Chain A
Amino acid sequence: MWTWFYKLASPPYVYRVAAALMPWFLGLAAVTIGYGLIGGLVFAPPDYQQGDAFRIIYVHVPSAILSVTVYTIMAVASAIALIWRIKVGHAVAAASAPIGASLTLLALVTGSMWGKPMWGTYWAWDPRLTSELILLFLYVGVMSLRSAFEDPARGDRAAALLAVVGVVNVPIVHFSVVWWNSLHQGSTLVTLEGPKMQSSMLWPLLSMLLGFTLFYGAVLCIRVQGEVLQRERQSAWVREAIKS
């Protein structure tokens, strides 16, 4: 049962699997994002309160959810790498950081653009927005720390520790709308009575969420190949791998 786990610790295996999976992730991402965009921008009816401005949700919510998910994945991969000394964990963490940072930026920018018609302001120092901004700073900190070391292995470990320490921010981002009086609206999708959104609006949103996740998977596959190559440059299997 644990053999798949052991295989995942093997750099050549991860390299091959990533190369093979990438086109599938990318293709499925294209389909789901395409359906989500058409369903959300064209066919979903305008919101009775916000009109067509609500359509920003189709890029804002997926990028926001993913910004936090990717950080968590980065922190878990870092923890695995630190505890069991599995270098592939560092490769996954290093590959995930720029993707997560760009998605956090997207969430902040689209959220800001949505804030103007919805709340009348481009920014507010409210718990959710502030903690998401802190998330961006944490991503940048992890990437900067990794590249500051001359010894890449040490840089990996230092960045991994920082990623794990920073994961404290993740529940703060998620629960900020519950714990404080926030300008940002509360939970719409995950509630006790089920999603509070009508299906013609909901399905494209879920599709966009799935599409963004698949897209992250595709880009991760590409980046992780490079990260693994960098850490295993001296190994024999690399010679065969880079011929392709």
Chain B
Amino acid sequence: MTVSAWEAFWLLVQRELRLSFRRPEQLLQPLVFFLIVTTLFPLGLSLQLSLLRDIAPGVLWVAALLSALLSLDFLFKSDADDGTLEQLALSGHGLTVIVAAKTLAHWLVTGLALVLVSPIVGTALGIPVGAFATMLGSLALGTLTLSWLGAVGAGLTIGLRRGNVLLSLIVLPLAMPLLIFGAGATDRAISGTNPAGALYLLAALCVFTCTLAPFAAAAALRITLE
């Protein structure tokens, strides 16, 4: 029974989601990490809520970045360990489709979860409700871009000793423009100026990454699996 590329894509997404929900700890860990990191900043700085508002976008975004890095481990590792990744690569559907499916599923259970939790964290950091729309939008675009950048990095570092340190070293420099625009958009929304410009740039970055990263990530996997 041959399956078209689209069908393979959706089947794979469903598989990834099903597997993720079978191990809920894997989903909860990055989320809890996100909550803990955002708590560390106010504890360490002991600021009042009104002053916390100034650093809130940055804190939110750094925490999102770090917890995304933590979760990237799950993207390819378990499949690479038991040989499923090679089987998928040999299946004839093209690594690009496989990578796209895995990354989308990964974002749905990590990035999207982060976005849904962010109003709680935002309130705890003093972000006014009026800025929530921008905060949610920028985090949604940002985490999606991050999942893709992470896919490229993860593809390059599967199975390396201390691969996660190297993964951070690779992904974080590439993610810096993301941080600048994402935090900048939320910052603008908080202070009352129009965040549209920063959001458009963030969207442009997202589109750019989503179009090119699948090919880069597939090439990375090809190098690692050879």
Contacts and interface: CB of A to CB of B under 8 A. Distances in A.
Interface stretch (A28-36, A160-168, A223-231): A160-168
B223 interface: yes
B176 interface: yes
Interface residues on B, range: 20 to 34
Given A141-B173, A162-B156, A157 B223 contact: yes
Nearest to B168: A141
Given A154-B223, A157-B223, A165-B152, A141 B169 contact: yes
B174 A161 contact: no
B166 interface: yes
B87 interface: no
A165 B219 CA distance: 11
A157 B162 CA distance: 19
A149 interface: yes
B65 to A, nearest CB: 14
A145 B173 contact: no
Given A166-B174, A172-B177, A140 B156 contact: no
B170 A161 contact: no
Contact of A161 (B169, B216, B226): B216
Interface in A132-163: 134, 137-138, 140-141, 144-145, 148-149, 154, 157-158, 161-162
A237 to B, nearest CB: 27
Given A154-B223, A154-B226, A162 B170 contact: yes
Contacts of B216: 161, 164-165
A168 B211 CA distance: 14
A182 interface: no
Interface residues of A, number: 22
B172 A137 contact: yes
B95 to A, nearest CB: 13
A71 to B, nearest CB: 12
A149 to B, nearest CB: 7
Given A141-B169, A145-B170, A161 B161 contact: no
B140 to A, nearest CB: 22
A145 B161 CA distance: 11
B78 interface: no
A130 interface: yes
B223 A161 contact: yes
B220 A158 contact: yes
B170 A141 contact: yes
B219 A137 contact: no
A149 B169 contact: no
Name A's interface SS: helix
A130 B220 contact: no
Nearest to A160: B223
Nearest to B152: A165
A158 B169 contact: no
A158 B160 CA distance: 12
Interface in A116-141: 130, 134, 137-138, 140-141
Interface string B195-226: 00000000000000000000010011001101
A102 to B, nearest CB: 18
A88 B179 CA distance: 37
B169 A144 contact: yes
20 contacts: A82-B219, A137-B172, A141-B166, A141-B170, A145-B157, A145-B166, A145-B170, A148-B157, A148-B161, A154-B223, A157-B223, A158-B220, A158-B223, A161-B152, A161-B216, A161-B220, A162-B170, A164-B216, A165-B174, A168-B174
Which 8 pairs between the two chains have the least Cβ-Cβ distance?
A137-B173, A157-B223, A134-B173, A141-B170, A158-B156, A141-B169, A148-B160, A138-B173
Given A130-B176, A130-B180, A148-B166, 15 more contacts: A137-B169, A138-B174, A141-B166, A144-B169, A145-B157, A148-B160, A148-B162, A149-B160, A161-B219, A161-B220, A161-B223, A164-B216, A165-B152, A166-B174, A168-B174
